[in-house]
Structures are given as structure tokens and as C-alpha cells.
Amino acid sequence: MAVKDMDNSFWKINRISRKTNILFSTLLTIIAILTVLPVVLVIMISISTPESLTYKGFSFIPLGITFTAYESLFATGTQIVNSYLVTITSTVTHTVLGVFMMMMYAFVLAQQRFAAKKFYTLIMFFTMLFSGGLVPSYIINVNYLHLYDSFWILVLSGMVSAFNIIVLRTFINTTIPIEMFDAAQIDGASEFTMFFRIVLPLSKAGLATICLLVLVGKWNDWFVGMLYIDNPKLVPLQTMLTRIQQKIDFIKNNASIASTPDGMALLKSMPTEQTRMAILVITTLPILFAYPFFQRFFIQGMTIGSVKG
């Protein structure tokens, strides 16, 4: 009877009233709509006719619909295709190698029997507080590692994150009992055997969460390509979009240049508004399709260490 009364009291304390539930549902619905509306507007602009943009401007309901921007991208946009392939290849390689290395580091730090655990944790934590800065990093990558105009600068840059290692270490400590490692060690399992046959299979939620965070971060990264890449065949998609926007802003801020021959040639080379929005749609689609595959692990991975009833 006492247990039943305790359960009822717990339910009364933690329940949400109907008015509060309606309020939160309405608020979240509004936030969801506000999140989706810009995406819908970009899609509608990308398929709007030039006449619609001229007379009606940006609108959710254009006067006419055309797919000319997408056709021109895939028909003549070799730079778009190259940038797209570079971004996909570098992002996937960066995510796979980075998550694998961070998981191995986290596995080592999660072992209680590792004598130098505090030392390597301190080194890792130190990188979260201090860094060498942009200029020393540029000098090392260009003069010593010779990664300028190299595909590997897109892959290796920012591959290991101290924050992600801490999250993975916490996930291992809270989900995998230490007795399991002790039993495996008694059975003669090596460190690599425990890593591949115990840690990786039991850490799907944590791995999926970190994979999604790394994937989105790398996919949206434009600065590394802007800093180290000049070869048109190696320019990532986000860097290409940034350079296009810089050209447009340059013309807008220097109206006198537009009347010069070089300015007119630059204006002709710039994409139309529909093409820019089409590029933006194509850039966003892979992330939109990738998220559902990680969603069922994402919530579980983000609640690592939380109090569960």
C-alpha cells in the first residue's frame, strides 16, 4: 500500500497539467514552423521564374515554376560537381577516421587500470583551454606538413575534439560495467579485442551522436578550404558558396567597379538568385537525409549521465 501511495505521489509531482501541455505543444509547433519556413522559402526561390522574382520578389507562392537553375547546375556546373564530390569524400573520411581515433582515446581514458590516465586527460583538457593560434597552425600545415592545396588538409584539420572524447569516455563509463572488462581480461582478451568486440558494439548510441555532430560540423566548414585551397578541383562546396557571396558583396559595395570591363565580366560570371538558392538546397539535402538515420540513437546519446526515473 505504501509503495502504491509513493507511486501515486511521484506521478502527481511529475505530471504536466493539461494547460501546460497545450502551451508547450503550441510553443514547439510554432518553433517547428519557424524552422521549416526558411527552408521552404529557399526551395521556392530556387524554382521561381526570373519574372516572378522581378515583379513579386521572394515569395512562398511564385508566379511561375521552373527547374532551369537545377538543370544548368548539372549540365554545365562542373565546379559544382567537383566541389560536391570533394565535400562528400572529405566529410565522410574525416568523420570515420576522427570518430574512430576519438573512440580509441576515450576507451583508454575509461580504463581504471591505466596508470597514466590522469596525465593524458590533463593534456586533452589543456587543448580545450589553450591553442597555438591560427598563424602557428598555418605555418606548421604549410611549411612543415606541406598540406597546402592538399585533400588531406580537409580531412585532418580538426579531426580530434577534446569535448567529443570526454562525451565518449563518459558514455563508456556509464553504460559498460567495469566488471565486463575485468572478465574479458581474465579470459585473455587483449585491449584491441575488448575495444572491437565489447566497446564498439555497446556504444552505438554514443558513436551515432558524435558522428552526427562531427558530420554536420565538417559539412558546414568553409574556413579551412578558404585558407588552404586554391586548386579549383579541391574547393569544398561551402568554400565555393562563400567565395560566390564575397564576389556579390564586393560588387554591391563598389558600384563604380560594375561599369568597368572587369566588373561587367564579374557580374556575368555570378550566378542568378535562383542558382544560388538551388546550390543552397543541394548543399542542405545530404544533412537532411542523414539525420533520420541517427535520430533513434541521438536522443539516447545526448542524455548520457542524466538522471533517469
pLDDT digits (tens, 9 = 90+) for 126-173: 888 888 788 888 999 999 988 999 999 999 988 998 899 998 888 888
pLDDT at 6: 47
What tens digit of pLDDT does each residue of 205-214 get? 888 888 888 9
Q: What is the pLDDT of residue 284?
A: 81
For residues 215 and 135, the answer to whether their CB atoms sit within 8 Å is no
Q: Where are the domains of the chain?
A: 1-66, 78-302
- Strand partners for 48: 65
| The pLDDT of residue 185 is above 60 | yes
- Topology given in CATH for the domain delimited by 78-302: MetI-like fold (1.10.3720)
SS3 214: helix
Q: Residues 150-162: pLDDT tens digits?
A: 999 999 988 998 8
Q: Does position 270 have pLDDT exceeding 80, yes or no?
A: no
Q: Please state the rounded mean pLDDT for residues 68-92.
A: 79
Q: Is the pLDDT of residue 257 over 60?
A: no
pLDDT at position 10 is 47
The predicted pLDDT at position 307 comes to 44
More confident site: 2 or 150: 150
**Looking at the predicted structure, is the pLDDT value of residue 298 above 50?**
yes
Length of the chain: 309
Provide the pLDDT for residue 154.
92
Q: Is the predicted pLDDT of residue 125 greater than 90, yes or no?
A: no
pLDDT value at residue 255: 54
Identify the CA nearest to 158 among candidates 105, 72, 223: 223
- In tens, the pLDDT along 230-256 reads 888 888 988 888 877 776 666 656 655
Longest alpha-carbon distance in the chain? 89
- Residue 131, all three cell numbers: 591553442
Q: pLDDT by residue (tens digit) across 214-231? A: 988 899 888 998 899 988
Which pLDDT score is estimated for 124?
86
CB-based contact 87:219 (threshold 8 Å): yes
- Alpha-carbon distance 60 to 70, whole Å? 18
Confidence of residue 27 (pLDDT cuts 50, 70, 90): very high
Residues 31-43: tens digit of each pLDDT: 989 988 888 888 8
Residue 209: its pLDDT value, please?
Answer: 84
The pLDDT of residue 101 is 93
Q: How confident is the model at residue 1 (pLDDT cuts 50, 70, 90)?
A: very low
Contact 224, 90 (CB under 8 A): no
Q: What is this structure's pTM?
A: 0.76
Whether the pLDDT of residue 301 is over 70: the answer is no
DSSP state of 272: P
